[in-house]
C-alpha cells in the first residue's frame, strides 16, 4: 500500500522485547538518538503496546502532499508491497524538519522537495527493490514529523545506502533537524 492511501491508517512502532523485527543498530544522524532495544513491532490499527515496550513512535498514513499526477501513477506502477518474504532487511528512519521548513508555503516546499532535491526522481531509481511506507506524525504531537519505513532484500542493502546518501546530500535535508537511522532484520 502506498502513502497516498485515502484512508489514514494508524501505525505504531513499538521497540522493546517483542515484534517481528530484530533491531540491529540505532544511529543518531542529526540530534538525539533513541534508546537501544532488542526487537521492534510494527502494528497497524489500534492495538495496545506489547509488554516490555521501551518506546513507541506512531502516526498515520495520509494523502500525498507533493507528488504530481504523473509521479503518483509512476509510483503506483513501480512500487512493491511491504511484507515480501525476501525483504528481510528494514529501516525505520524518523525525521523532524525545522520551523523554517514549516514556515514555507506549499509551492516553495514542493520546489525544494522535487525541482531542487529530486526526491521522487531519485527514489524511483530504487523501486521496486526498496518497498516504502510514509507515516505522518507531525499532527500527532510526537517528537518527529515523519516515520519512514523501508523493506529490502540483503542484496539491495548497498543500493539502499546509496539512496539515503543521495537524499541526505540534497537541499531538502538542510531542513532536517532530527533524524535517527534504525536498521532491522528478520
Q: Supply the minimum distance, in Å, between the C-beta of residue 41 and ligand HEM.
A: 21
Scanning 5-13, 20-28, 30-38, 122-130 for contacts with ligand HEM by CB under 6 A, the matching segment is: 122-130
The answer to whether 182 and 34 have CB atoms below 8 angstroms apart is: yes
Comparison of 3 and 12: residue with beta carbon closer to ligand HEM: 3
The answer to whether 87 and 153 have CB atoms below 8 angstroms apart is: yes
Chain residue whose CB lies nearest ligand HEM: 123
Binding mask 4-43 for ligand HEM (x = CB under 6 A): ----------------------------------------
For the chain, where are the alpha helices, taking DSSP H only? Answer: 69-78, 99-102, 106-110, 119-124, 157-168
Q: Supply the minimum distance, in Å, between the C-beta of residue 99 and ligand HEM.
A: 13
Comparison of 17 and 124: residue with beta carbon closer to ligand HEM: 124
SS3 content of the chain, % helix, strand, coil (to 5): 30, 35, 40
**Assign residue 52 a region: left if phi > 0, alpha if psi is -120 to 50, beta otherwise?**
left
3-state secondary structure 95-136: EEECHHHHCCCHHHHHHHHHHHCCHHHHHHCCCCCCEEEEEE
Comparison of 15 and 90: residue with beta carbon closer to ligand HEM: 90
Does 66 engage in binding with ligand HEM (CB under 6 A)?
yes
Comparison of 39 and 183: residue with beta carbon closer to ligand HEM: 183
Residue 97 phi/psi, 5-degree rounding, is -100, 165
Sequence-distant (6+) residues with CB within 8 A of 5 are 61
Does 89 engage in binding with ligand HEM (CB under 6 A)?
no
Residues in contact with ligand HEM by CB under 6 A are 3, 64-67, 75, 93, 95, 97, 119-120, 123-124, 126-127, 130, 132, 134, 146, 148, 163-164, 167
Amino acid at each position: 500500500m502506498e502513502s497516498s492511501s485515502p484512508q489514514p491508517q494508524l501505525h505504531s512502532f513499538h521497540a522493546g522485547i517483542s515484534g517481528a523485527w530484530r533491531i540491529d543498530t540505532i544511529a543518531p544522524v542529526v540530534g538525539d538518538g533513541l534508546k537501544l532495544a532488542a526487537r521492534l513491532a510494527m502494528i497497524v490499527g489500534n492495538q495496545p503496546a506489547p509488554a516490555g515496550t521501551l518506546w513507541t513512535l506512531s502516526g498515520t498514513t495520509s494523502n500525498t502532499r507533493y507528488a504530481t499526477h504523473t509521479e503518483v501513477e509512476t509510483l503506483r506502477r513501480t512500487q512493491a508491497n511491504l511484507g515480501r518474504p525476501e525483504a528481510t532487511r528494514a529501516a525505520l528512519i524518523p525525521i523532524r524538519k525545522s520551523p523554517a521548513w514549516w514556515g514555507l508555503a506549499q509551492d516553495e516546499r514542493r520546489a525544494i522537495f522535487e525541482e531542487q532535491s529530486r526526491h521522487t526522481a531519485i527514489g524511483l531509481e530504487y523501486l521496486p527493490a526498496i518497498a516504502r511506507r510514509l507515516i505522518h506524525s507531525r499532527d500527532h504531537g510526537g517528537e518527529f514529523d515523519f516515520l519512514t519505513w523501508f523493506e529490502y532484500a540483503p542484496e539491495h542493502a548497498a543500493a539502499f545506502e546509496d539512496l539515503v546518501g543521495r537524499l541526505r546530500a540534497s537541499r531538502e535535508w538542510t531542513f532536517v533537524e532530527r533524524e535517527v537511522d534504525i536498521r532491522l532484520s528478520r
